[in-house]
Amino acid sequence: MSETETLEPPETKDRAAMLMFALVEIRPETHDIKTFVFRPETGALAYQAGQSMTLKLSLDGETVHRTFSLASAPGRDETVAMTIKAHARGRATRFMHERLAVGDRIEARAPRGRFVIAGRNGDHLALVSAGSGASPLMAMLRHLAATAPEADIAWLHAARTPADLLFGAELAELQRRMPNLKVAMLASQPEPGWFGFSGRLNRRLLSVAVPDFGRREVFCCGPAGFMDEARLIHAAEGGRRQPFHVEHFGAVAPAAPLPVPDDAPEAGFSIRFDGKSFSARADETLLQAATRQTVVIPCGCASGMCGTCRVSLVEGEVAMRHEGGLSAEEEAQGFILACSSRPRSDVTIAS
Ligand SMILES: Cc1cc2nc3c(=O)[nH]c(=O)nc-3n(C[C@H](O)[C@H](O)[C@H](O)COP(=O)(O)OP(=O)(O)OC[C@H]3O[C@@H](n4cnc5c(N)ncnc54)[C@H](O)[C@@H]3O)c2cc1C
Ligand code: FES
């Protein structure tokens, strides 16, 4: 591995600070997926392949935050790219697809996230994606193409129809440059003339597409059910000793309940956040309480995994149980996840 690959994900002192970007290109990928290319106004951005960034968008006067993976590889040029699906009833993604234009300026938080290729054990890898879940994996593959072109990589990418499959031309080009890259495409609704794999992800199909799946370290991104299935197959193929990394794009399960102290006040505790105040009961998370009272705390997965809702605990006490969205170092530095923390006293938090 090169020196840059062994670095921990970049930790800036002020990661909550907003950075300004100019939108320099919009590239259609499929009928409902586009790649947005941004140029940071502060110069090249430090990030690792697989990390994500939270955009601050103004939808007709209302501010919303949405997190998107960076599909670009770090260190290639000064721009960063995000490959984004417009959800049928998605507010932010429809806005981005329909209203954003080249030249627009957008604020975003510095990249973050622990779903990174840099921490891998070796170069015997499987990348498994569905839909726009290909985005962080493409960042990883682009990075490996530049830093470890001999890496032994099997990529299985799934989509509904062949026309929905992402990055086909670039993957074919990368296969010419990366002698040990194997790519398998899976369409759940194939069309006449389709020569790839057909149907839904299952063990038989995966054992043909990636015969040594259980011996590979896996990076997986797609809908929760798809990732659960891939993980079960990996374990069944003997992969229990190989790391299986996942990135969730949406809420998985609400934060697990925690015991509520008998003396917790019924009216809840007082929470101060960046100059705003709201109350939170001992049995609800800071994020749930903030949302109920229309205070915006940026949120991605709402399940303690992505780190989007990270805030500093300035004063007070919380009970926190998360799913890996915060590193031990961040906890030691006094950061908490609003989606996974319940108040145990009056609390002051800051972005
Ligand atoms: C760490 C992380 C990385 C992400 N990276 C990407 C990325 O690279 N590309 C990308 O397109 N998206 C990505 N997402 C998802 C993204 O943040 C948004 O949640 C999603 O695009 C929908 O936003 P919206 O405002 O359009 O939808 P909303 O208005 O929030 O939701 C509208 C409807 O869409 C449904 N919905 C929302 N999100 C999803 C989802 N992910 N899958 C299926 N249905 C959904 C909701 O249930 C709701 O019914 C990522 C999320 C996280 C947490
Ligand atoms: S919103 Fe993802 S960790 Fe809290």
Question: CATH number of the domain that 334 lies in?
Answer: 3.10.20.30
Amino acid in the structure at residue 302? A
Do 16 and 93 share a domain, yes or no?
yes
- Ligand 1: which atom is nearest the Cα of residue 82? 8
pLDDT confidence of residue 12: 41
Q: Exposed, middle or buried, 56 (CB in 10 Å: 0-12/13-18/19+)?
A: middle
Residues 70 and 131 in one domain: no
Q: How many residues does the chain have?
A: 351
Q: Which helix (H) or strand (E) holds 40?
A: strand 33-40
Q: Tokens 């399960």 appear where?
A: 253
CA of 257 from ligand 1 middle (Å) equals 25
CATH (domain of 65): 2.40.30.10
Ligand nearest to the CA of 247: 1
Give residue 223 CA to ligand 1 midpoint distance, Å: 10
Q: Which of 308, 311, 323, 335 to mutate to test the pocket of ligand 2 (most atoms within 8 A of CB)?
A: 308
Q: Residue 138 belongs to what domain range?
A: 117-247
Q: Which two tokens stand for residue 47?
A: 């990030």
Calculate how far, in angstroms, residue 246's C-alpha sits from the geometric centre of ligand 2: 14
Distances in Å between the Cα of 5 and the Cα atoms of 69, 122, 143 are 18, 12, 10
Please give the Cα distance from 58 to 244 (Å, whole number): 36
Instruction: Measure the CA–CA gap between 118 and 310, rounded to whole angstroms.
Output: 22
Cβ partners under 8 Å of residue 163, min gap 6: 30, 31, 191
Domain boundary among 84, 109, 134: 109
Number of domains in the chain: 3
Q: Are strands 269-273 and 347-350 parallel, antiparallel or unpaired?
A: parallel
In a domain, 258, yes or no: no
Kindly report the CATH number assigned to the domain that includes residue 170.
3.40.50.80
pLDDT in tens, the chain (351 residues): 333 333 334 444 444 568 999 999 999 999 999 999 999 998 889 999 999 999 999 998 888 889 999 999 998 889 999 999 999 999 999 999 999 999 999 999 889 888 999 989 999 999 999 999 999 999 999 999 999 999 999 999 999 999 999 999 999 999 999 999 999 999 999 999 999 999 999 999 999 999 999 999 999 999 999 999 999 999 999 998 899 999 989 776 666 677 888 888 888 999 999 999 999 999 999 999 999 998 989 888 888 888 889 999 999 999 999 888 888 888 999 999 999 999 999 999 998
Q: Are 50 and 138 within 8 A, CB to CB?
A: no
Do both 238 and 123 map to the same domain?
Answer: yes
